[in-house]
Amino acid sequence: MKAIQAYRYALDLTPAQERAVLAHAGAARVAHNWALARVVAVMNQRAAERTYGVAEADLTPAIGWSLPALRKAWNAHKEQVAPWWRECSKEAFNTGLDALARALKNWSDSRTGKRAGRPVGFPRFKSRRRSVPSVRFTTGTIRVEPDRKHVVLPRLGRLKLHESARKLARRLDNGTARIMSATVRRDGGRWHVAFCVEVDRAERRPARPTSVVGVDVGITHLAVLSTGELVDNPRHLDAAKTRLRRLGRALSRKTGPDRRTRQRPSNRWRRASLRLTRAHARVSNLRRDGLHKLTTRLTREHATIVVEDLNVAGMLRNRRLARHITDASFGELRRQLAYKTQWNGGRLLIADRWYPSSKTCSGCGAVKTKLALSERTYTCTTCGMNLDRDINAARNLVALATEMDTAGSGPVTGRGADHKTRPGRQVATKRQPGTATADQTGTVPPQGRTTDHVLTGAY
């Protein structure tokens, strides 16, 4: 099975090598800003000419936004814009132009409705101090040295790795991997190189080929499995909150940059800023490591994993839970499960966003119309079942997958209905006086169980 996979390693650069990498990142920024300024100038000129009544055929010729068009324009003007262009690899300028071409395409597609999701803004100019230094190499000499502790990149030469690249080297030696590109980027105060590799992965099967597990993510517990297992939420950000607050106060006492007076930051401010950046990077690395270990274990063991389609963006509007939700990284957990299930021969089912996994009784199928977030124990008013609400939701996810497999309707994907939880439809029948309907009791019998309702209170 062919798959695109990334291998990321930390670098130990010498001062001279760091200056060379920064020069290449600066070249990418210069090319990006020059091309963006040219595009903006032409757009403004054409808009002004339209206000004067100039015909469309007589307007200033438009500039192509594709990467070949931007590269052609750059090659025609690079002698005047950057006379030093020979000192850097052509891939550095290509990095900035490619980023601009992608940004312009995303903005155009968002305006015309071709791109789903939130509206994408117009590209901005990259700042020397605020932008993240990065350069991408797609051609030239890109290889891992035989000692597996060094890599070779175009114009940058031989760079030392902080750790061994034996896993990537073994695949390259066996002919089961092909390096497509290499990106050098400064992240968290350290330089890293990420290899985009086309890997020929062996076909794998989960350890339990018939196992179906429901995963209910949350804040109290990072994940609650339908098997009853509770995965603790490490809360790395809360654990580092005291240190981050202290480093932030120390940084505020130093002389930092001021754009209004053009004041340059002091060396002490730079060192304090680096310490704060490393502290944040450590939190991010711990969170990423825990998620990778959890998702790898789940995908290697279970054949079918069912998760919820949570509206994370909407959940972040709760100012009391936003920090805890971002620290748990619900979206990253689902993203890792998506590609790791494919790698390990399993499948990932996404429950409909409106499916009431927390409000449905996993024993009899009765659905509650309301379930407050403070109610951590699910008590069924029909069958009297008393169970932790997260375990109950995870069991409902497994039952949903079983129902779909039995019906032969395929994976549980898509948004489905556009309404909140309501009692299931019932056949109109005569009822005796004094008996309550489903709308009055707020529950439905097992046969009235539906799978197209809202998901609320599941976290």
Q: 């010729």: which residue's tokens?
A: 61
The pLDDT of residue 404: 73
Q: Is the pLDDT of residue 406 over 90?
A: no
183 & 91 share domain:
no
Give domain status of residue 266, yes or no: yes
Mean pLDDT of 50-77: 92
Give domain status of residue 63, yes or no: yes
Give domain status of residue 144, yes or no: yes
The pLDDT of residue 424: 42
176 & 249 share domain:
no
The pLDDT of residue 125: 96
72 & 166 share domain:
no
Clarify whether 91 is annotated catalytic.
Answer: no
Mean pLDDT of 231-256: 95
Mean pLDDT of 59-77: 93
Indicate the pLDDT class of residue 78, thresholds 50, 70 and 90. Answer: very high
65 & 154 share domain:
no
Give domain status of residue 458, yes or no: no
Residue 166, domain extent: 2-14+133-200
The pLDDT of residue 425: 36
- Choose the final residue of a domain: 297, 325, 351: 351
Strand ranges of the sheet holding 230-232, from the earlier edge strand across to the other edge? 230-232, 221-225, 208-217, 302-308, 347-351
Q: Is the pLDDT of residue 375 over 80?
A: yes
User: Per the residue annotation, which of 91, 98, 216, 327 is the catalytic one?
Assistant: 216
The pLDDT of residue 426: 34
Q: Is the pLDDT of residue 191 over 90?
A: yes
Residues 200-239: tens digit of each pLDDT: 998 999 999 999 999 999 999 999 999 989 999 999 999 9
CB 423 within 8 A of CB 360: no
User: Per the residue annotation, which of 308, 309, 327, 352 is the catalytic one?
Assistant: 308
10 & 151 share domain:
yes
88 & 145 share domain:
no
159 & 85 share domain:
no
The pLDDT of residue 145: 96
CA distance 377 to 406: 30
Clarify whether 216 is annotated catalytic.
Answer: yes
Clarify whether 308 is annotated catalytic.
Answer: yes
The pLDDT of residue 447: 34
Chain mean position to CA 124:
21
Q: Determine how many CB atoms are found less than 10 A away from the CB of residue 423.
A: 20
Give domain status of residue 404, yes or no: no
CA 357, 359, 362, 367 dihedral sign is negative
Backbone angles phi, psi at 424, to 5 degrees: -65, 160
Indicate the pLDDT class of residue 445, thresholds 50, 70 and 90. Answer: very low
Residues 326-352: tens digit of each pLDDT: 999 999 999 999 999 999 999 999 998
The pLDDT of residue 383: 86
Give domain status of residue 268, yes or no: yes
Give domain status of residue 309, yes or no: yes
Residues 4-53: tens digit of each pLDDT: 999 999 999 999 999 999 999 999 999 999 999 999 999 999 999 999 99
Closest CA to 176 of 54, 1, 361: 1
The rounded mean pLDDT for the chain is 86
239 & 326 share domain:
yes
For 9-39, the DSSP string reads EEEE--HHHHHHHHHHHHHHHHHHHHHHHHH
CA distance 55 to 58: 5
Mean pLDDT of 65-87: 95
The pLDDT of residue 441: 33
Indicate the pLDDT class of residue 423, thresholds 50, 70 and 90. Answer: very low
Q: Is the pLDDT of residue 450 over 60?
A: no
Beta pairing class for 143-144 and 150-153: antiparallel
241 & 156 share domain:
no
Q: Is the pLDDT of residue 452 over 80?
A: no
Amino acid at the residue 439: D
User: Per the residue annotation, which of 91, 327, 352, 390 is the catalytic one?
Assistant: 390
CB 414 within 8 A of CB 451: no
Which of 90-99, 384-393, 446-455 has maximum average pLDDT? Answer: 90-99
CB 315 within 8 A of CB 324: no
Tokens of 442: 């707020």
Torsion of CA 289, 302, 385, 310, to 10 degrees: 50
274 & 342 share domain:
yes
Q: Is the pLDDT of residue 390 over 80?
A: yes
Model pTM?
0.81
The pLDDT of residue 380: 87
The pLDDT of residue 102: 96
Domain count, the chain: 3
Mean pLDDT of 318-332: 92
Indicate the pLDDT class of residue 141, thresholds 50, 70 and 90. Answer: very high
The pLDDT of residue 407: 61
Give domain status of residue 441, yes or no: no
339 & 315 share domain:
yes
Amino acid at the residue 369: T
Indicate the pLDDT class of residue 455, thresholds 50, 70 and 90. Answer: very low
CA distance 253 to 260: 19
153 & 90 share domain:
no
Percent of the chain with pLDDT strictly greater than 90: 68
Mean pLDDT of 293-307: 95
- Choose the final residue of a domain: 49, 77, 112: 112
The pLDDT of residue 401: 85
Mean pLDDT of 99-114: 95
The pLDDT of residue 427: 32
Closest CA to 25 of 159, 164, 128: 128
